[in-house]
Amino acid sequence: MKFLAVIAFFFVPALCSSAGQGPIFGLATPTRGQDTHKGAATPLKDLVEEAGRLSPQVIAAERQWDATKYAAKQAGALPDTELTVQHLSVGSPRPFAGYSNSDFAYIGLGASQDLPFPGKRGLRAKVAESESEVSFRQSAIVRQDVIERVKVAYFRLAYLQQTLSLLDQNDHSLSDIEQITESRYRVGEGTQQDVLKAQLQHTKILNEIAMHHREVGQWQAEMKSLLNRDQGSPDIVTEIPSTTVMPSVASSNSNPDLELRAAQVKKTEAALTSAQKERRPDFNVQYMWQHTGDSFRDYYIATFGIRLPNPGRVKAAVAEAEAKKQHAKAELDATQRMLEAEIQKQIVFIRTSEDQLRIYREGLIPQSQATLRASTAGYQTGKQDFETLLSAFNDVLRLQIEYQQELAEHESAIARLQRLAGGAQ
């Protein structure tokens, strides 16, 4: 009778609580998990903004893009001007020999300038501009990848921090149950097997807590690396997760991978046009002033040259540019089809996940709690053994942890869908 009074002290509150009115054996309801970590919770949007500004990967990609901004001006500029100094002596290798007695000896100053065929410089600048656009799209991909990784790490940390709270609460409850079974065993009303089972379950939860702490540490390291924070900085505390409504997806045209492929197609088109223009000849102009002795008149020489392109080389360059254009278009089409499939996969996963979360909230967890209350009442009256009670206890804990895991996977899928559909932050 003393044992029944003691166990009633711990279990009667659970009998009186309904499925939505609070914890059973210290188990938090799935929508109100308590975080045991110290410090104020950081909203996900703040971390996303921080990663966009400070992530080493993002900064490196943007600096690479900055470097390409100057390529167009270089590609569209005139070729370098060449200045020439000439000297011709007559009758002797000595400098200025023959100046006084020969009108062939001279010193000359000249300049030479290559002139590409009209339009070539503009096309080369356009190719360079398209290369800069490709670099910009690549930096956008890096940014979106970092943002997605931050979101996934955040949701994983949220799951781990919530389940750590659940495990910690249940560890305390099992300690009380373990004391009860030991007390009953000492007065001869219980079995040693019940004591050992309670101790085993207590040890299992301690093991789960240790494994969760290890995984939390690993995800904290990942998150701090993405945010460019020192590894010794305070750990990140997440907000209590909630179910996000699936965003509407009209198309994937703003997907950064797709935009990169489109920019590469644009680049190959510009390169093809430039290669075709190379069929046109280039020009060269030179002018030189030659001075002989004072008794002779100076020479003034103007030269105009035409550089004829090699037809075979140009033909091969055009064929190469055309092949690269077709390859870029094929990759664009392949990326489009792949993105459509990936978006559909994420939509299917999110919809089914929402159904599962609803089943957990409205069915599995309330039903397991009701089973636990019934098992508690049966154990109090001697109609249920301790193993049945422990099994019911484990079911509640397992289902609530599964709920948190499914919630984290649902939110991660939302993040991936946002990335695929255009990178909404």
Residue 175 scores a pLDDT above 80: no
Is 135:267 a contact under the CB 8 Å cutoff?
no
Residue 9 scores a pLDDT above 60: no
Residue 28 scores a pLDDT above 70: no
More confident residue, 17 or 68: 68
Tell me the per-residue pLDDT of 344-400, one tens digit each, with 9 for 90 and over. Answer: 999 999 999 999 999 999 999 999 988 887 877 776 666 777 788 788 888 888 999
Least confident of 97-101, 129-133, 417-421: 97-101
Q: Which residue's entry shows tokens 């970590």?
A: 37
Per-residue pLDDT at 297: 87
Per-residue pLDDT at 229: 92
Q: What CA–CA distance (Å, rounded) separates 26 from 33?
A: 11
Tell me the per-residue pLDDT of 307-325, one tens digit each, with 9 for 90 and over. Answer: 999 999 999 999 999 999 9
Q: Which residues contact 331 (CB under 8 A, 6 or more apart)?
A: 261, 264
Burial class (CB in 10 A: 0-12, 13-18, 19+), 356: middle
Per-residue pLDDT at 189: 63
Residue 400: name the closest of 354, 352, 350, 364 by CA.
Answer: 364
Q: How confident is the model at residue 190 (pLDDT cuts 50, 70, 90)?
A: low
Q: SS3 of 100, please?
A: coil
Is 179:198 a contact under the CB 8 Å cutoff?
no
Least confident of 151-160, 328-337, 387-396: 387-396
Show the beta-strand stretches assigned E in 232-298. 282-291
Answering whether pTM is above 0.85, one says no
Tell me the per-residue pLDDT of 250-300, one tens digit each, with 9 for 90 and over. Answer: 666 678 899 999 999 999 999 999 999 999 999 999 999 998 888 888 899
| Residues 184, 181, 193: CA angle, nearest 5 degrees | 105
Phi and psi based region of residue 225 (left: phi greater than 0; alpha: psi -120 to 50; beta: remaining): alpha
Per-residue pLDDT at 380: 60
Phi and psi based region of residue 398 (left: phi greater than 0; alpha: psi -120 to 50; beta: remaining): alpha
Per-residue pLDDT at 262: 93
Per-residue pLDDT at 184: 61
Mean of pLDDT over the chain = 84
Centroid of chain to Cα 370: 43
Average pLDDT of the residues in 120-136? 94
Q: Which amino acid is at 412?
A: S
Residue 242 scores a pLDDT above 70: yes
Question: With pLDDT > 70 as the criterion, what percentage of the chain qualifies?
Answer: 84
Q: How confident is the model at residue 37 (pLDDT cuts 50, 70, 90)?
A: low
User: The tokens of 247 are what?
Assistant: 């965003």
More confident residue, 20 or 208: 208
> Tell me: domain 2-421, CATH 1.20.1600.10, correct?
yes
Question: With pLDDT > 90 as the criterion, what percentage of the chain qualifies?
Answer: 56
